[in-house]
Structure 1
Amino acid sequence: MKTTRAPAPRPYRSYVYAYPHKTAYRELADPPELAALWAGEPKDALSLYAHVPFCEVRCGFCNLFTRIGAPGELTTRYLDALDRQATAVREALGDGEPVRFATAAFGGGTPTFLTAAELERLCDIAERRMGADLRAVPLSVETSPATATADRLAVLAGRGATRLSIGVQSFVEAEARAAVRPQRRADVEAALGRIRDTGVPVLNIDLIYGIDGQTEESWRLSLDAALAWRPEELYLYPLYVRPLTGLGRTPPEDDREWDERRLRLYRYGRDHLLAHGYEQVSMRMFRRRDAAPLGPDDHACQTDGMIGLGCGARSYTSALHYSFDYAVDMREIRSIIDAYTETGDFSRARVGRWVDAGEARRRHLLQSLLQAEGMPVAGYEERFGSSPFADFPEELGRFEALGWLDGEAPEGLLRLSPEGLAHSDGLGPELFSPGVRAAMAAYEPK
């Protein structure tokens, strides 16, 4: 394998949770009909995602597509539009072959911003309009300390939720304030108790490292507070400061120094969880070793056959990734949500990016290599008729030279080393195609 000694990329460049990145999407010149897009696609193991773009507060680090509050009857109008979209999408899928959903998820925003009655309606849309059997498949739902109320959680448990994910970020109140996420630890603990009371089998807790003022000691306090609940899953996220977010308006720290601090906290958190009975699934995801997995791992939303409902959701076919317009600025988000609620025709894909054979190779390598278990080379070769080492000699050669590939992996398995996993957010963007990089660079944040 060809190697190179080019400088290592910075460890925190971009959180790679989807490829191509949404900032590479553009308005489609000739919007294709959904029926034509899905005509030749496998439909026996689809993934369903419903996006709820509302939160009670906008965290300082958040660049997700969400708005604060929902004045008037906005949530009703939004669910009305979601119902219309689901009806159009299900019609486009057709009845020529069986349509079956293998997984489902509600995200946001904060799905539990909706009332209990509205959550019932959301589940009805997934089941009655789309045909998803929520009690028969893994169903993951995101929540927050303030919205994890007993009545809302009871609805989700009763409708088949198998995983509840709560964004705590920090159990230290001063750190929560520094991240522009005001919350009391007592309220967080009460919400966790209510989640455990539901009996939903998987609890996931999100924590963030790299917050201003955070130390190894305070980081351990949050880790131990989370471990006290014995969550089946824990996600450890590095803090990012993005344009147009609350923290994005503050002067940035020295980047290199911050990189080193985040790496130090990451390694501390990783080792602490490994020592307390967790296994590492990806850079971010840790699963309790004695907990049975009930749903997909990090990369599952990357698979073809993804149906996204809602104005911030993406859908994936083998040839096109599509969604609606995207923004971070609150005024722009409000405008897009309003336009979505007024949409009557959901029969076409209007914003997206076509995925050719080369991009499909990159996507497969990305979504596999960033998982701790690695990628069987034979599976790649069978799918694409070529070797990843022939397709990506420079990139893989560079990763090897940097010590990011596991030299002790079993033969035939391409796997990252522990340091490779630690640098996932620097490694991932190295696999982006020139076309995607150019589109991302040309994107004007709004």
Structure 2
Amino acid sequence: MAAPVPVQLSASVPEEPATPYKQYVYAYPHQKAYRLLTDRPLLRDVWAKERLDALSLYVHIPFCEMRCGFCNLFTRTGAPEDVTRAFLGTLERQATATREALEAKGDPVRFTLAAFGGGTPTYLTADELARLCDICEHVMGADLKVLPWSVETSPATATADRLAVLAERGATRLSIGVQSFIDEEARAAVRPQKRQEVDEALSRLKESAFPILNIDLIYGIDGQTEQSFRVSLDAALSWEPEEIYLYPLYVRPLTGLMARHDKDGKLWDEQRLRLYRYGRDHLLAAGYRQTSMRVFQRIGTAAVELSDHAGISEYNQQAGMVGLGVGARSFTTDLHYTTDYAVAVPEVRRIIDDYIATPTEEFRRAQWAFRMDHDERRRMFVLQALLESTGLRTDVYRRRFGTRPQADFPAEFAALAERGWLATGGEELLLLTPEGMAWADAIGPLFFSARVNEAMTSYQER
């Protein structure tokens, strides 16, 4: 491919983002834009127009052994076994109702991708993990021995018995949140773990020989420098993982770090940008390729082969995602739906309790949702493609929507070009430049609709 050529466009340019770290856009729109529906359509009607032979399955396990200081995910710490057991019982009821809705159309139902997220799915015991796999296989009909599927874990919960279950059931990718190999930095991020515990967990993961091992690291921790970040980068590289994710530290409302975080915003942005560039260059020199702002894959490994073959990306959000579990989202062409959502500990516990007590009949209907229209689908398409290193193919966009993305979003693309964040990789390809990729968390929100921004702004944090 020819070297990217800077794009020149003319249009009114939006104001430059105040920070490179506005929002991590892993799905559009954010769950804070969802609202409780009044009509609550039946799932069999919601899925009636969808293609059912290439579905993705996502199961959300909302439990962790601890809550990190930066975490604003939907999760509860320290749930006793009677709660996790009851949760799995409800999950099975939800799965049964969901499968019946999918089968109502009469077309064959087939899953081609699956993931267990959270929370920390390996908070469940080995027996509970086996039951979770049984629900996915025997109720939902997902053949875990055949399709690629991913599981998130932590150093404390990556125990031999749990990993043995996942290996036996065919898990292809294990992702472990390390964040930092330096104990002092882990404590600064309110993640009380020891390097020895991390190394022991990674040793068990390597012995289990999952095709893909991913290690998550965070940059922007208080006191972190290029030298200390390199310690973690090199420690991660020593395990030869197929993937490494580099996450900028965010401090969000109702999280443990929020009350004690008094960093100067400009200085913190400079630190994070500096560490991002250092980490990016270090991993590229070590034989990894960058597929998005966060994702680095070791060249010549199963991670590259799988993502290229299956079209798996950080922003994998096409219609056809079926979510199970409280907090899981499902995506169809016209409707994105989920359950209630919160961050604060009391609200999370209440929502989990309400989920466990939900009558089966309610699982046959969409509850909390966001209705997609033609405009929102275009925005989602642009975000999913542009934020990946493969870029946005304008010919594919035109075939799908009948227009060119530059015509639909002239000001947004002009802003990217004006700042040197946009390039072309050919006549029909728009790409982020390396500096544009560094600003991906600010570029994503440029394409949010006024409707989504208003809904997110009016959302009451809880």
Q: Does the CA contact (< 8 Å) of 1:405 and 1:414 recur in 2?
A: yes
Q: Does the CA contact (< 8 Å) of 1:81 and 1:340 recur in 2?
A: yes
**CA displacement, residues 328-385 of structure 1 (integer Å, 9 cap, x when unaligned):** 0000000000000011221001101000000000000000000011011100000111
TM-score (norm 2): 0.95
Matches within 5 A, 1:315-326: 315-326=330-341
In structure 2, which of residues 224, 242, 249 is the aligned counterpart of residue 214 of structure 1? 224
**CA displacement, residues 51-103 of structure 1 (integer Å, 9 cap, x when unaligned):** 10000000000000001011250001000000000000000001511100010
1:421 is matched with: 437
> Which amino acid in structure 2 is aligned with residue 438 of structure 1?
E
In structure 1, which of residues 67, 77, 84 is the aligned counterpart of residue 86 of structure 2? 77
Q: Does the CA contact (< 8 Å) of 1:46 and 1:306 recur in 2?
A: yes
1:378 is matched with: 395
Matches within 5 A, 1:328-367: 328-344=343-359, 345=361, 346-367=363-384
In structure 2, which of residues 15, 29, 41 is the aligned counterpart of residue 20 of structure 1? 29
Q: 1: CA distance between counterparts of 2:53 and 2:430?
A: 29
Q: 2: CA distance between counterparts of 1:31 and 1:322?
A: 10
> Which amino acid in structure 2 is aligned with residue 415 of structure 1?
L
Matches within 5 A, 1:257-268: 257-268=267-278
Matched, 1:312 2:327: yes
**CA displacement, residues 206-239 of structure 1 (integer Å, 9 cap, x when unaligned):** 0000000101100000000000011100000000
Q: Does the CA contact (< 8 Å) of 1:3 and 1:401 recur in 2?
A: no
In structure 2, the gaps of 5 or more residues are: 1-8
> Which amino acid in structure 2 is aligned with residue 400 of structure 1?
A
In structure 1, the gaps of 5 or more residues are: none
1:116 is matched with: 126
**Alpha-carbon offset, residue 298 of structure 1:** 3.0
Structure 1 residues 396 and 5: alpha-carbon distance in aligned structure 2, compared to 1, 3 A threshold: closer
Structure 1 residues 300 and 129: alpha-carbon distance in aligned structure 2, compared to 1, 3 A threshold: farther
1:250 is matched with: 260
1:445 is matched with: 461
**Alpha-carbon offset, residue 299 of structure 1:** 4.0
Q: Does the CA contact (< 8 Å) of 1:50 and 1:308 recur in 2?
A: yes
Secondary structure in 1 matching 2:422: coil
Q: Does the CA contact (< 8 Å) of 1:281 and 1:297 recur in 2?
A: no
**Alpha-carbon offset, residue 253 of structure 1:** 1.0
Secondary structure in 2 matching 1:259: helix
> Which amino acid in structure 2 is aligned with residue 398 of structure 1?
A
**Alpha-carbon offset, residue 4 of structure 1:** 4.4
Secondary structure in 1 matching 2:381: helix
Q: 2: CA distance between counterparts of 1:375 and 1:291?
A: 25
Secondary structure in 1 matching 2:316: helix
**CA displacement, residues 247-304 of structure 1 (integer Å, 9 cap, x when unaligned):** 0111431111111110000000000000000000000000001113325533453111
> Which amino acid in structure 2 is aligned with residue 319 of structure 1?
D
> Which amino acid in structure 2 is aligned with residue 151 of structure 1?
D
> Which amino acid in structure 1 is aligned with residue 353 of structure 2?
D
**Alpha-carbon offset, residue 6 of structure 1:** 4.8
> Which amino acid in structure 2 is aligned with residue 318 of structure 1?
T
2:446 is matched with: 430
Matches within 5 A, 1:74-223: 74-94=83-103, 96-223=106-233
Q: 2: CA distance between counterparts of 1:129 and 1:90?
A: 7
In structure 1, which of residues 36, 40, 46 is the aligned counterpart of residue 55 of structure 2? 46
Q: 1: CA distance between counterparts of 2:127 and 2:439?
A: 43
Q: Does the CA contact (< 8 Å) of 1:4 and 1:401 recur in 2?
A: no
Q: 1: CA distance between counterparts of 2:448 and 2:340?
A: 22
Secondary structure in 1 matching 2:58: strand
Secondary structure in 1 matching 2:255: coil
Q: How many positions carry a matched residue from both structures?
A: 445
Q: 2: CA distance between counterparts of 1:64 and 1:343?
A: 22
Identity of aligned residues (%): 60
> Which amino acid in structure 1 is aligned with residue 301 of structure 2?
A
> Which amino acid in structure 2 is aligned with residue 315 of structure 1?
S
Q: Does the CA contact (< 8 Å) of 1:162 and 1:294 recur in 2?
A: no
**Alpha-carbon offset, residue 186 of structure 1:** 0.9
Q: 2: CA distance between counterparts of 1:341 and 1:5?
A: 49
Q: 2: CA distance between counterparts of 1:53 and 1:227?
A: 30
Q: Does the CA contact (< 8 Å) of 2:26 and 2:315 recur in 1?
A: no
> Which amino acid in structure 2 is aligned with residue 61 of structure 1?
F
Q: 1: CA distance between counterparts of 2:459 and 2:154?
A: 31
Structure 1 residues 84 and 229: alpha-carbon distance in aligned structure 2, compared to 1, 3 A threshold: same
Compute the RMSD of aligned alpha carbons: 1.0
